[in-house]
């Protein structure tokens, strides 16, 4: 099954891209060059690439605009909220790439490898501060609600990344802990993306909560899909090295599901990942096979399906225009069937 990007995602890029580029232009020269490179707006030397400011999959800004539409507003009215969510997402990518030592993202060298750790930390900091400021350009109460919604998501994002780092040093991570981590690290910002547009245009609380619930389930499905791609994804499509998550011994959901399955392959996998030397190609292939044999792959695929079903249920129970509901459903579907 081949997944195509829903139309709404491309049009979101067109609407939000200029807002992102304009905000980046406000940064000081040393910080701007790093931010523009990371976002795909410029090459390492700062020359414009001609691409839009919402690099990557741009799912979050699309969800935020759709969220404004779900509240009956024109998508343009959700642009600051969409740009803010995208800046927070990119702030976390910039900082996570440093912490995780990742050298490639979106088929390009990561910012810290090009400009140094210090410059990449600063560019992330600047994006976080920009995100909050974009939401406060108006002075209505909903500007504050949107900002606090984003702050809460940022704190969960940080909590999730903190747990992820701590897991690296532990060999007794439970599936519940791992699910909580994914909820914090990925689902919280997705829930925010799905509700912040509505909040920003002054929607009632029950709509915002219904959309946040949808986003939380979609976020979990997204992370499960990401974890599956991190092991079985095609590197030429994902833009990440093959079996990258096994190489770094990441305690991803399918890996932890396999490790805690109490099976013979689980014991073998545990012993393999406990080795202190780097894993060779043959060992990586064996590790992927063991995750599958221990049921980790099947479990993650079933969990992603279940999360998607829960997301659909939230959507059905939340009052919004039919065309907005259909687009949310299309993005959710894309998220679990994508190859990248």
Q: Which residues bind a copy of itself (CB under 8 A)?
A: 26-31, 91, 95, 98-100, 116-119, 121-122, 124-126, 128-130, 132-133, 136, 139, 141, 143-144, 147-148, 151-152, 154-155, 158-159, 161-163, 165-166, 184
**Which of 11/155 has CB closer to a copy of itself?**
155
Q: Shortest approach of a copy of itself to residue 90 CB, angstroms?
A: 13
CA–CA distance, 29 with 267 (Å, rounded to integer): 52
When the beta carbons of 28 and 276 are compared against a copy of itself, the nearer one is 28
- With respect to a copy of itself, which residue has the nearer C-beta, 192 or 229? 192
Which of 37/328 has CB closer to a copy of itself? 37
Q: Count CB atoms within 10 A of the CB of residue 53.
A: 25
List Cβ neighbours of 127 (8 Å cut-off, separation of 6 or more).
Answer: 35, 87, 88, 90, 91, 94
Structural contact between residues 111 and 38, judged by C-beta atoms closer than 8 angstroms: yes
In angstroms, give the least distance from the CB of 209 to a copy of itself: 19
Least distance from a copy of itself to the Cβ atom of residue 54, Å: 21
CB of 5 to a copy of itself, least distance (A): 30
Minimal distance, residue 104 CB to a copy of itself, in Å:
18
Complex with a copy of itself: residue 142 or 252, whichever CB lies closer: 142
Nearer to a copy of itself, 95 or 325 (CB): 95
**Cβ of residue 107: shortest distance to a copy of itself, in angstroms?**
24
- Find, among 339, 328, 336, 340, the residue nearest to 6 by Cα: 328
Alpha-carbon span 74 to 241, nearest angstrom: 40
Instruction: Please answer whether residues 308 and 336 qualify as being in contact, where contact means their C-beta atoms are separated by less than 8 angstroms.
Output: yes
Q: Which of 42, 26, 23 is nearest to 85 (CA)?
A: 23
**CA 138: distance to chain centroid?**
27
Whose Cβ is closer to a copy of itself: residue 29's or residue 50's?
Answer: 29
Measured CA to CA, the distance from residue 190 to residue 184 in angstroms comes to: 10
**How far apart (Å, rounded) are the C-alpha atoms in residues 95 and 206?**
34
Q: What is the crossing angle of helices 79-100 and 117-135, to 10°?
A: 160
Shortest reach from residue 116's CB to a copy of itself, in Å? 8
């Amino acid at each position: 099954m081949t997944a195509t990007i829903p139309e709404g995602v491309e049009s979101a890029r067109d609407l939000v891209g200029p807002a992102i580029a304009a905000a980046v232009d406000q940064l000081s020269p040393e910080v701007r060059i790093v931010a523009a490179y990371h976002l795909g707006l410029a090459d390492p030397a700062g020359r414009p690439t001609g691409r839009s400011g919402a690099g990557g999959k741009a799912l979050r800004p699309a969800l935020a605009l759709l969220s404004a539409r779900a509240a009956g507003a024109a998508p343009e009215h959700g642009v600051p909220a969409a740009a803010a969510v995208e800046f927070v997402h990119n702030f976390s990518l910039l900082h996570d790439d440093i912490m995780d030592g990742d050298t490639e993202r979106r088929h390009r060298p990561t910012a810290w490898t090009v400009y140094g750790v210090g410059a990449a930390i600063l560019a992330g900091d600047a994006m976080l501060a920009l995100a909050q400021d974009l939401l406060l350009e108006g002075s209505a109460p909903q500007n504050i609600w949107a900002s606090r919604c984003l702050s809460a998501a940022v704190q969960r994002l940080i909590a999730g990344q903190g747990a992820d780092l701590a897991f690296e040093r532990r060999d007794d991570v439970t599936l519940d802990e791992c699910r909580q981590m994914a909820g914090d690290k990925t689902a919280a910002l997705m829930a925010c993306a799905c509700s912040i547009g509505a909040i920003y245009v002054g929607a009632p609380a029950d709509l915002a909560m219904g959309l946040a619930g949808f986003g939380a389930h979609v976020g979990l499905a997204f992370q499960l899909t990401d974890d599956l791609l991190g092991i079985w994804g095609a590197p030429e499509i994902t833009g990440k090295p093959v079996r990258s998550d096994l190489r770094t011994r990441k305690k991803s959901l399918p890996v932890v599901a396999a490790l805690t399955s109490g099976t013979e392959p689980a014991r073998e996998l545990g012993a393999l990942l406990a080795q202190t030397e780097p894993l060779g190609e043959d060992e990586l292939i064996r590790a992927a096979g063991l995750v599958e044999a221990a049921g980790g792959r099947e479990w993650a695929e079933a969990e992603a399906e279940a999360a998607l079903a829960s997301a659909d249920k939230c959507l059905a129970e939340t009052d919004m225009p039919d065309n907005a509901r259909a687009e949310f459903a299309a993005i959710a579907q894309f998220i679990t069937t994508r190859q990248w």
